[in-house]
Amino acid sequence: MENETVKETVSKNFIEQIIEKDLAEGKYEEICTRFPPEPNGYLHIGHAKSILLNYGLAQKYHGKFNMRFDDTNPTKERVEFVESIKEDIKWLGADWGDRLYFASDYFDQMYEAAVKLIKKGKAFVCDLSAEEIREYRGTLTEPGKESPYRNRSVEENLELFEKMKNGEFEDGTKVLRAKIDMASPNINMRDPVIYRVAHMTHHNTGDKWCIYPMYDFAHPIEDAIEGVTHSICTLEFEYHRPLYDWVVTELEYPHPPKQIEFAKLYLTNVVTGKRYIKKLVEDGIVDGWDDPRLVSIAALRRRGFTPESIQKFVELCGVSKANSSVDYAMLEYCIREDLKMKAPRMMAVLDPVKLVIDNYPEGQTEELEVPNNMENPELGSRMVPFGKELYIEREDFMEVPVKKYKRLYPGNEVRLMNAYFVTCTSCEKDQDGNVTVIHCTYDPASKGGNSPDGRKVKGTIHWVCAQTAVEAECRLYENIVDEEKGVYNKEDGSLNLNPNSLTLMEKCYVEPELGKAQPYDRFQFVRNGFFCVDCHDTTSEKPVFNRIVSLKSSFKLNP
């Protein structure tokens, strides 16, 4: 029993160990975590790790989870991004209940906090330009220089700061800086800017404010006001933690939150930078922030990924302090594992050619019972129409077969999946030599795909009945960047784009059941992969299917 206890403790990640120690020592009666995105773009797969980690910890330790928008920079923020982020987080399964907040809700309190620092002699109004502040800051090896405005009196600073608030100064002419230590080895502590003048309309507060707090000042205040106990963020904020602690200490919050950093989730060969995605959208290379070739959460949802698959992916990635990269193939592995038992297995012909069964009764159609998923009998079965004329994949016929080819060619017999044995007799071609129609005969005694005389066939192909087929469009995706060249061009920093990232199969044929599919419905198309009904472009006249992932991969999960 003792060994089992030790094993359980070791298996906890380092954040869970910190939380359990804090609870055991009585530092907090109840934990509170938060996810605090800035609404300046769509969330991507890396954010999913933070969302699920923060929400999962709150659930595990019976605490609270806050959803908060860090909307302190009106130059880049839009209501569109606010709404998309809320939708993404709900879809992932993180429920904030009634705990939805905005940093802008606290602008009055932040202003009062800044006034408090001024009165304590811990903040001053500085007239240096942004460039001059950078010059005065020093380097990693050299200390900075104090601003000539650092020793203004409390009264002068209060007066100037109020004038900043009242809109009496132009953008960039004055800032409020914390007064800490220009010789600190941590550059973040060298009198950082905590307020700047910005005459901008805010999506939430309108034109009430013309000064806005900096993130490093606002964030700890927001956490303290909301009662956040563990402010969990990514590793790049580790060197900002002394400033975070300085703010909550100087402002004398009774229960200061604790910042903890963990490693970001990096996926290989994907584009996550908002600047790059914005350019892809503006240049018309993708059709929006949710284009299925991107890895924004909205894009993954549109492509057909499930919340469960992303939850599994995040779980497999784990939580650590060490930065590392994860192969995109692992994300594909997770969606295959999630869908293989739950997605109905349907027939769809992406590159169709007509197959005519010459000895099948003219005008006759019949209904064949087909299992929905061979691996999961609980999904039941459906009736699929069958007739004299069918569509099959063009690659399933060769007039002159290559070695080991087991599908249709003149004289060869194959199985039509769940239907009959057919033998190819001939084909028709157009004037360019392209096959237009394949002719065959069928064995009526082989219904269900088995011959009563026990003869075997080596090939099985899928099909769709031409009489009842629904025309559809299928979209096949590859990585939007050229993996061999890498994501970014080393010379100019541009993206190395893959010209074959999207293949449109505009005249596919699918079985009639698929014509009733609704946006986000997912299916396994026999031999072609897992597909999802596109939420934007599908119409009642013509469904559009996005390929989520192919059926096979070389990726293996380590035991």
pLDDT band for position 393 (50/70/90)?
A: very high
Q: Please say whether the beta carbons of 526 and 417 come within 8 A.
A: yes
Residue 340's domain spans which residues? 269-345+467-559
As a whole number, the mean pLDDT across the chain is: 93
The pLDDT of 411-434, averaged and rounded, is 95
Confidence of residue 3 (pLDDT cuts 50, 70, 90): very low
| Least confident residue range of 202-216, 377-391, 438-452 | 438-452
Q: Are residues 206 and 107 in the same domain?
A: yes
Between 298 and 322, whose confidence is greater? 298
Q: Please report the pLDDT score of residue 324 as a whole number.
A: 82
pLDDT in tens, 65-114: 999 999 999 988 889 999 999 999 999 999 999 999 999 999 999 999 99
Same domain, 341 and 310: yes
- Select from 437, 462, 487 the last residue of a domain: 462
**Average pLDDT for residues 502-511, to the nearest whole number?**
97
Residue 9 above 50 pLDDT? no
Same domain, 517 and 370: no
CATH number at residue 458: 2.40.240.10
Residue 6 has pLDDT above 50, yes or no: no
Q: 345 pLDDT band (50/70/90 cuts)?
A: very high
- Residue in 185, 448, 472 with CA at minimum distance from that of residue 349: 472
pLDDT at 500: 94
Same structural domain for residues 196 and 303? no
For residues 381 and 443, membership in a common domain is answered with: yes
| CB distance 109 to 225 below 8 Å | yes
Confidence band for 7, pLDDT divided at 50, 70 and 90: very low
Question: Buried b vs exposed e over 58-72: b needs ≥16 C-beta within 10 Å?
Answer: beebebbbbbbbbbb
Q: Is residue 11 part of a domain?
A: no
Beta strand spans in 305-434 (E): 325-326, 345-346, 348-349, 352-357, 365-371, 381-387, 389-393, 413-416, 421-429
Name the domain boundary from 410, 437, 462: 462
Q: Does residue 451 carry a pLDDT above 90? A: no
Q: Are 420 and 476 in the same domain?
A: no
The string of pLDDT tens digits covering residues 455-466 is 889 899 999 999
Within a domain: 10: no
CB neighbourhood size of 410 (10 A): 17
Q: What is the pLDDT of residues 522-551, one digit of tens each?
A: 999 999 999 999 999 999 999 999 999 999
Question: Does position 325 have pLDDT exceeding 90, yes or no?
Answer: no
pLDDT in tens, 130-147: 999 999 999 999 999 999
Task: Indicate which CATH number applies to the domain containing 87.
Answer: 3.40.50.620
Our count of domains for the chain comes to 3
Residue 437 pLDDT: 98
pLDDT for 559:
44
Is residue 5 domain-resident? no
Query: How many Cα atoms sit within 13 Å of 284 on the Cβ side?
Result: 0
Q: Are residues 211 and 300 part of one domain?
A: no
Residues 440, 408 contacting (CB under 8 angstroms): yes
Calculate mean pLDDT across residues 420-446.
96
Cα–Cα distance between 390 and 388 in angstroms, integer?
7
Mean pLDDT over 222-226 rounds to: 97
Q: Using one digit for the tens of pLDDT, what is the confidence trace for 96-105?
A: 999 999 999 9
**In terms of domains, do 204 and 353 share one?**
no
Tokens representing residue 113 in the block: 């906090």
Above 90 in pLDDT, residue 452? Answer: no
Non-local (6+) Cβ contacts of 402 within 8 A are none
Residue 320 lies in a domain: yes
- Report pLDDT for 491: 79
User: Is residue 324 in a domain?
Assistant: yes
pLDDT in tens, 254-263: 989 999 999 9
Residue 554 has pLDDT above 60, yes or no: no
pTM confidence score: 0.89
Q: Do 220 and 310 fall into the same domain?
A: no
Same domain, 219 and 305: no
Q: Measure the CA dihedral 394/398/401/402, to 10°.
A: -40
**What is the percent of the chain with per-residue pLDDT over 90, rounded to a whole number?**
86
Task: Please check whether residues 253 and 274 belong to one and the same domain.
Answer: no
The answer to whether residue 161 sits within a structural domain is: yes
1 part of a folded domain: no
Q: Which residue has the higher pLDDT, 40 or 353?
A: 353
Residue 7 lies in a domain: no
What pLDDT does 230 receive? 98
Cα Rg, the chain, nearest whole Å: 31
**Cβ contacts of 357-362, under 8 Å, gap ≥ 24:** 357/388, 357/389, 357/390, 357/422, 357/440, 357/441, 357/442, 358/425, 358/439, 358/440, 358/441, 359/441, 359/442, 360/387, 360/388, 360/442, 361/388, 362/388
pLDDT value of position 558: 54
pLDDT at 108: 97
Let me know whether 451 and 477 are in one domain.
no
Angle at 523 between CA 522 and CA 526, to 5 degrees: 160
**Is residue 12 very low, low, confident or very high in pLDDT (cuts 50, 70, 90)?**
confident
- Cβ neighbourhood burial of 488 (10 Å; 0-12, 13-18, 19+): middle
Residue that finishes a domain, picked among 410, 430, 462: 462
Alpha carbon of 464 to those of 16, 351, 450, 467, 536: distances in Å?
Answer: 53, 12, 19, 9, 26
d(C-alpha 468, C-alpha 236), whole Å: 57
